[in-house]
Chains A and B, each alone.
Chain A
Amino acid sequence: MQTSSDIKKIIKDSLFTGLISLALFGPIVGLKTSSKGEGLFVTPHIGIVVLLVAACITGRFLIGLNSLRKKEINFIAKITSSISRYMDNKGKHVAITGVMFAIVFPFLPFTDRYVLDVSIMILTYIMLGWGLNIVVGLAGLLDLGYVAFYAVGAYSYALIATTFGWSFWVCLPLAGLFAGFFGILLGFPVLRLRGDYLAIVTLGFGEIIRIILINWYEVTNGPDGITGIPRPSFFGLEFKKFPDEGVDSFHTFFNLEYSTMHRIIFLYYLILVLALITNYFTLRIRKLPVGRAWEALREDEIACKSLGVNPTNTKLTAFAIGATFGGFAGAFFATRQAFVSPESFTFIESAIIVAIVVLGGMGSQTGVVLAAIFLIGITEIFRDLEQYRMIAFGGAMVLIMIFKPKGILANRKPTVTLKDHIK
């Protein structure tokens, strides 16, 4: 029931919001600094400030009205709950359909070069999300420096491939192992730290790796990066218009017109396979004692210790395996771009991957897929709007956390049931 004093309060709140938004937007948006010769001068932009303030006041007013209703309309929670329910019932079907769709995707009519590139990017993030899911989602370890393993994988692939010229299928596992080794190296001293401290230390480690990559000219070539990384081949067939001496070309072997799409489609399937291997591995290991121990550690470490579970080894395993998959993804990245530089491995990447895992619902594999598509999709839709897309991205992170803190698909299914056992 709306009383006049309720309305008055809402109006007061809205005006207060207006005042605050004036303080927020007034200086930063309203007084833009621009260069003139040596110094800066300030140009007023009153119009846009007025618009923003008015929008805030109106928005606050509407929210206030909404809260007066008998039942608040929480749109986001409604949508995510129905997705959750649907997934609970039809989870397996959705997953299989999804995979089939992904398999035929490159041959669908609307899939052009741009769409395929975006899909490759989304799949890379999905793989990274699945990798980090082991660390953050299953074991509950706050890793904010996952990009470090991505970088180690990419750079070690680049260095091995350009120095020794071995094939993709040799360099990839080596890159992964290298990253996994780094995971153990880093994990060993820091995994006993409490949650938030672990977060900042892993963040620091990610930054250390990036700074080393920029400055260690002799090995990493500094900001210029490493170029000329050999592109992958289809079991010996190169994807070139004019192949090298003694090597056959893909398009001539299969009697097709040369097209760059061949290589792109091959890369697409490559990352699809890598991601699916990550997924399969995770699904299997969840059912094993070590996977259960990860989740138990996340729930209550003290109880785990009282049951004889070795927390340090268990955490280290999660960390190292997560790092290895990050390394594999890095190797793929290196061969796809044919070029690596420190710019691709900033903290923002770690933040994006963590966001994907948490938004998707800790530990939920399908959630990671949905979250990756959603978040990367947002940045692509807004691509034309340049920096606004990052504002949208950050805003999405905040909003989803507020309305669904447990993530989109937070319902967990037990890894083993008595029902299945008795059958």
Chain B
Amino acid sequence: MNKNLLKVENLTMKFGGLTAIDDLSFSANNNEITSIIGPNGAGKTTVFNCLTGFYKPTAGEMLLNRNDEIVALKKFTDYKIAQKAKVARTFQNIRLFPAMSVLENLLVAQHNELMVASGYSIFGILNLKRYRDKEKGAIEKAKYWLDIIGLTNRADDNAGDLPYGDQRKLEIVRAMCIEPRLLCLDEPAAGLNPKESSELNKLLEFIKNDKKTGILLIEHDMSVVMGISDHVVVLNYGKKIFQGSPTETRNSKAVIEAYLGVDE
């Protein structure tokens, strides 16, 4: 099977007079964690928003390899990205459903299969067995993920009541519940202490290895980036300034200059 999962070609995003992303090209592979790093304002979240259908790019292509079928992500807008293209994402500011329980959050992620199974609610209203079974399956899947992140005993608590680190983990496994090909995580380590960061690393490695999902990661936390990335893409002012392995990135002059500046 082709190793390549995502190919971004000449992506450009302009907001009026401001060019947020300028002719960006990079690729990400299956079963790999690719990190996108760069100083603040480099355009990292904008890339995500383009990939996940929240912005329509001014130019360029984003090609996803979905079971050897190439799909142009540009065609899909907002909810269809997750539903049809199977690209999932998390957000910089955690977006859970705070007044709903942890379990319910994970069930909403399985909405589309459950809708079909419920016969668009008709079977559901009649409480037919085929729906009940599907719902049981969905709950089992949710439980599976909750066990992995250790939140099973809080399944019925409101998501908004969880501590910050647990909310982050929940958001990630919720995204996994749609069984994505590509998982885009926007600064998942933000606000986590070292212990939580290493737990996050373990979770991401599990997803990469066991679930065969490609992960795209925006991060500032270098322990996470260097610790688990297979590949690093560095952006600055909307342009790619470097691409390579974590070690290469750490030693690259261009990258150091971008982050630390040049001696006058």
Contacts and interface: CB of A to CB of B under 8 A. Distances in A.
Let me know if chains A and B touch directly in the complex, using CB atoms closer than 8 Å.
yes
B108 A293 contact: yes
Contacts of B88: 306-307
Contacts of A308: 79-83, 109, 111-112, 178
Interface stretch (B93-101, B199-207, B222-230): B93-101
Contacts of A304: 79, 108
Contacts of B101: 414, 417
A3 B152 CA distance: 54
A355 B80 CA distance: 36
Given A299-B99, A308-B112, A412-B99, A290 B121 contact: yes
Interface in A244-299: 281, 284-285, 287-290, 292-293, 295-296, 299
Of listed A281, A285, A289, A299, residue having the most chain B CB within 10 A = A289
Contacts of A310: 79, 83
B100 A418 contact: no
Interface in B85-122: 88-89, 91, 95-101, 103-104, 107-112, 114-115, 118, 120-121
Given A295-B100, A300-B95, A307-B178, A289 B107 contact: yes
Contacts of B54: 302
Contacts of B112: 308-309
Nearest to A280: B125
A295 B79 CA distance: 17
Of listed B80, B115, B118, B152, residue having the most chain A CB within 10 A = B115
B156 A417 contact: yes
Contacts of B120: 290
A287 B139 CA distance: 13
A288 B82 contact: no
Contacts of B175: 306-307
B66 to A, nearest CB: 14
A9 B208 CA distance: 66
B107 A416 contact: yes
A165 B155 CA distance: 55
B125 A284 contact: yes
A305 B100 contact: no
Given A285-B125, A308-B82, A310-B79, A416 B139 contact: yes
Contacts of B127: 284
A69 interface: no
Contact of A289 (B78, B100, B118): B118
B169 interface: no
A18 B182 CA distance: 66
A417 B114 CA distance: 17
Contacts of B114: 289
B104 A414 contact: yes
Interface residues of B, number: 47
Nearest to B160: A299
A418 B139 contact: yes
Nearest to A417: B156
A416 B79 CA distance: 25
Contact of A303 (B96, B118, B142): B96
B203 to A, nearest CB: 19
Interface string A299-325: 110111111111100000000000000
Of listed A290, A299, A300, residue having the most chain B CB within 10 A = A299
Contacts of A387: none
B161 to A, nearest CB: 12
A296 B178 CA distance: 16
Contacts of A419: 155-156
A415 interface: yes
Given A306-B89, A310-B83, A288 B124 contact: yes
Contacts of A415: 104
Contacts of A281: 125
Contacts of B100: 292, 295-296, 299, 412, 414
Interface string A17-48: 00000000000000000000000000000000
A288 B138 CA distance: 12
B212 interface: no
A176 to B, nearest CB: 16
A306 B82 contact: yes
A292 B139 contact: no
B107 A305 contact: no
B107 to A, nearest CB: 6
B224 to A, nearest CB: 21
Nearest to A287: B124
Contacts of B7: none
A305 B104 contact: no
B211 interface: no
A307 B120 CA distance: 18
A288 B128 CA distance: 12
B251 to A, nearest CB: 36
A70 interface: no
A326 B37 CA distance: 53
B130 to A, nearest CB: 13
B174 interface: yes
Of listed B91, B110, B155, B178, residue having the most chain A CB within 10 A = B155
A374 B71 CA distance: 57
Given A299-B99, A299-B100, A305 B79 contact: yes
A336 B209 CA distance: 67
Interface string A67-110: 00000000000000000000000000000000000000000000
Contacts of A292: 100, 104, 107-108, 111
A414 B96 contact: no
Nearest to B120: A290
A8 interface: no
A307 B125 contact: no
B220 interface: no
Given A289-B118, A412-B99, 15 more contacts: A285-B124, A287-B124, A289-B107, A289-B121, A292-B107, A300-B97, A305-B53, A307-B82, A308-B83, A309-B108, A414-B100, A414-B104, A416-B107, A418-B146, A421-B136
8 contacts: A284-B125, A300-B96, A305-B78, A306-B79, A307-B109, A412-B100, A421-B136, A421-B139
What 8 A-B pairs have minimum CB-CB distances, sorted nearest first?
A308-B83, A308-B82, A418-B155, A414-B101, A303-B95, A289-B114, A299-B97, A288-B124
